[in-house]
A and B are shown apart, each in its own frame.
Chain A
Amino acid sequence: MLDFPRWRVWMLNTLIIFGVLFAIPSLLPAPMRAQLAQFVPTPSINLGLDLAGGSHILLEADTSQLAETRLEALEDGVRTAMRRAEPQISISDVSRTDGQLSFTVSDVSKVDAAREALTPLTNNTVGSSDWNIAVSDGNRVILTPAGAGNEAALDQAMDTAKDVIDRRINALGTLEPTIIRQGDNRIVVQVPGLDDPAALKALIGKTAKLEFKLVDEMADPDQTAKGKARVGSQVLPYPNNPSGLPNIAVRRLGGISGDKLVKADPTFDPQTNEPAVTIQFDSEGGQRFARMTQQNVNKLFAIILDGQVISAPQIREPIFGGVSQISGSFTTESANALSISLRSGALPVDLKIVEERSVGPDLGADSIRRGVLAAVIGTTAILVLMFLVYGRFGMYANFALVINIAMILGVMALVNATLTLPGIAGFVLTIGAAVDANVLINERIREELKRGRRIVQAIEVGYKEASRAIFDANSTNVIAAVLLFIFGSGPIRGFAVVLMIGIVTSVFTAVTMTRMWVSRWVKRTRPTELTI
């Protein structure tokens, strides 16, 4: 039991040295660490947002809206496919209800041709069908989403959304965001060191779906005010409507979407000198824009952002070249945010902020200072107590504790763990709990001595008998810590990580290391009396 082969001593000492080495970078002030990093790799502990300051934002996708968008796209596709079919297939009564699209083929004999024309639309890239096609009453075609269709679409949309958010935040500058998907329809955005999260939220919460549609100039203003539109038109909110109405009617069809942009920049309207955004379409979008403006000179067209009209200017002349300007009560900031959003593409799905946590850097710094203070006082108190109660064996426990602290830091740095505010508390708790193993061992040795065992035997039995309780006690702690990690979120997980690492390293240092030191001492001095 007390025999320690030389190779084991070497192995343990190497472990200690590595643990301590990895801990060093985390303890250095940042500038020194940066200097050191030029020569050797310096793994160090990340500070959580609650310590470094920053924002944590949880976004959730509106899945019903995604289904609606898919349906809209399908309707567009169906209309185009029927128009382009040779010979043309005329359809009527197109309706989107309950997540399905249905339409009537006017000529019953053309139903099969219509089905044929739909096939490229309903099949996805992997060959299976995204939409089920059914025909009722002889000529009514009904398209319903196939089982996996919406899920696959959501999955794809979330991936795209993640990339879009990434591009948008990167456009803000030197932030180092962490963007991860969570569950089916959520995205977590964490941005450390951000003073004012308002700009960030404005940027990532916006879908930035830009559309251009013709204003329904035949609409009855009374009906529009009530939110009712003619067939083929829709009523959209228009907060800056010069007519004073809160909304405006636009034609459903014949518009173009603004997703084919190559550029979007904040600028100033040359006439009014108000902030505005210039956009430039790609060649395809530019041609469509030119066609639309050409066909509708002197008419009003609405510029729609995320379902809300921002302005409705008159088309004075056809616009070639694909450059256009959007204006309408922007501030410099909002014009800038909009151009970033447009540049990085529209979100494929609406995202809502369902949880937000922001911590100012001052509070974080204060937490670190006081957390470290508590940890230092706590450690000192434990060191003094252990020495007073167990003497030499207490000092072994103390060495083990100090190494344990270094090793926790080292392991955290190595696995790139994040230290959070509850994590600091976990650290303080671990300091107290780590010596528990030594208390168990030392008390047991004391007991065995009292029962009349010889010193070496007492130490051996002490370590052996105490190990069982140490193992059981730490197992229950691990169970609790694992559950904490599984169910916990953000900072709590940081706490669980510290606990788990601390439990493993503390058993190692408090049991294995002290046994090595004790055995060396016993072998070297052959003590005849033991004060413990």
Chain B
Amino acid sequence: MKLLKVVPDDTNIDFLKWRNWAFGVSLLLMIASVGLVATKGLNFGVDFIGGQMIRATFTQTASAPVSELRETVAGLGYGDPTIQRFGAENQVSIRMKLPDGADKNPEIANAMAEKITSKLKADHPDVRIDGVDSVSGKVSQELFSKGILALLAAMAGVSIYIWFRFEWQFGVGAIWSLLHDVTLTFGLFSLTGWEFDLNIIAALLTIIGYSLNDTVVVYDRIRENLMKFRKMEMASLLNLSVNETLSRTVMTSVSISLPLIILVLFGPDVIFGFSAAMAFGIVVGTYSSIYQAAPILIWLKVGSHSFVPTEEVSAGSKVERIDENFGAQP
């Protein structure tokens, strides 16, 4: 049986040739992302800014009357709502700030939800209330700081792990590429205006775990090759390592992102942002493990001196010698 090859055998693509370009572009994108978040901001959900969100589906209407809703809800005197369609055209989320004094007296928040839902039901008999989220200012602040803390702890945690398993330069490379992936995901959410809620923090944490998958595999090969080909120039060695692991990198990225893309397309609307963030992060993470995590090792002056060859690798000498010859060719 003839098997499908995702990547042709014995590729010899000079990935590292473009490393300065790639690094520059990435840096620009990261700055742009930070700039976007700083100026345009993120469309925070009630999880992080507090407030009330009502989800409703218009079961008999093809398209939810968003502008009409905006007027009716604003007419209730609780301020202007943020109304968005999510998923299907007939599903909306209505977000409100909690009225003054709601932190002291929860009855006020209850009354608001009650009033809005009963008004909706009166105006549109086909409306179905799918859920009410109400988060007080205090809790939302806690959720926010906890989320940021989790992100930082995860990045630090996995980088420290890499540092212990490899060398400190690899740890730096890991944390840099994670920073890259997370920053770009923030940028994506600022650009698209997708709602940024607790789920997105979860997605980012997942990205931190899985985008490192590729990095670890590439690093593992780099370490192996550093011990094998002790005289090879670093850029060629990185190229060799990336090429050797290329078909695996592509295959894994496909196998992880394929179900995620399907989840974005067919999955529940409620977690659209969550799925989209993960799919985006995995794709960006694949790129960053080749173009961020690997080249950084050159700048950090990693070389064969960083590792002492061990018994384990020098075993199987016959095959090793073939490799040596292969590796010696430029």
Binding site for B on A (CB under 8 A): 50, 58, 60, 197-198, 201, 205, 352-360, 362-363, 366-367, 370-371, 373-375, 377-379, 381-382, 385-386, 388-391, 421-422, 424-426, 428-429, 431-433, 435-436, 439-440, 443, 446-447, 450-453, 461, 465, 468-469, 472-473, 475-481, 483-484, 486-489, 491-492, 495-496, 499, 531-532
Complex contacts, B107 vs chain A, CB 8 Å: 205
Shortest Cβ distance from B2 into A: residue: A531
A435 to B106, CA, bound (A): 49
| Contact call B260/A432, Cβ cutoff below 8 A | yes
Segment among B11-19, B71-79, B231-239, B249-257 that sits at the interface with chain A: B249-257
Cβ-neighbour of A432 out of B162, B259, B269 (below 8 A) = B259
| Contact call B266/A377, Cβ cutoff below 8 A | yes
Q: List 26 A-B contacts (CB under 8 A).
A: A205-B106, A353-B134, A354-B136, A356-B134, A360-B129, A363-B270, A374-B267, A377-B259, A381-B259, A385-B255, A421-B268, A422-B274, A424-B267, A425-B267, A425-B274, A432-B260, A440-B252, A443-B251, A446-B247, A451-B319, A473-B216, A479-B157, A479-B209, A484-B205, A531-B1, A532-B3
Given contacts A381-B258, A389-B3, A422-B202, contact A451 B323 (CB under 8 A): yes
| Contact call A422/B258, Cβ cutoff below 8 A | no
A371 to B5, CA, bound (A): 31
B43 in the interface, Cβ–Cβ < 8 Å?
A: no
| Contact call B130/A476, Cβ cutoff below 8 A | no
Q: Count of chain B residues with Cβ under 8 Å from any Cβ of A?
A: 84
| Contact call B319/A476, Cβ cutoff below 8 A | no
Complex contacts, A390 vs chain B, CB 8 Å: 3
**A-B contacts at CB below 8 angstroms, number:** 246
B165 in the interface, Cβ–Cβ < 8 Å?
A: yes
| Contact call B209/A480, Cβ cutoff below 8 A | yes
Complex contacts, A532 vs chain B, CB 8 Å: 3
Cβ-neighbour of A370 out of B256, B260, B267, B319 (below 8 A) = B267
Quick one: which of A391, A451, A472, A480 has the most chain B CB within 10 A?
A: A480
A337 to B34, CA, bound (A): 52
| Contact call A480/B158, Cβ cutoff below 8 A | yes
**Binary contact track B124-162/A, C-beta < 8 Å → 1, others 0:** 000011111111101100010011011001100110011
Cβ-neighbour of A483 out of B205, B248, B254, B257 (below 8 A) = B205
Complex contacts, B57 vs chain A, CB 8 Å: 362-363
- Chain A interface SS verdict (over half): helix
Given contacts A439-B248, A483-B157, A532-B3, contact A355 B135 (CB under 8 A): yes
Given contacts A198-B114, A355-B136, A531-B1, contact A472 B220 (CB under 8 A): yes
Quick one: which of A363, A377, A385, A388 has the most chain B CB within 10 A?
A: A363
Shortest Cβ distance from B247 into A: residue: A443
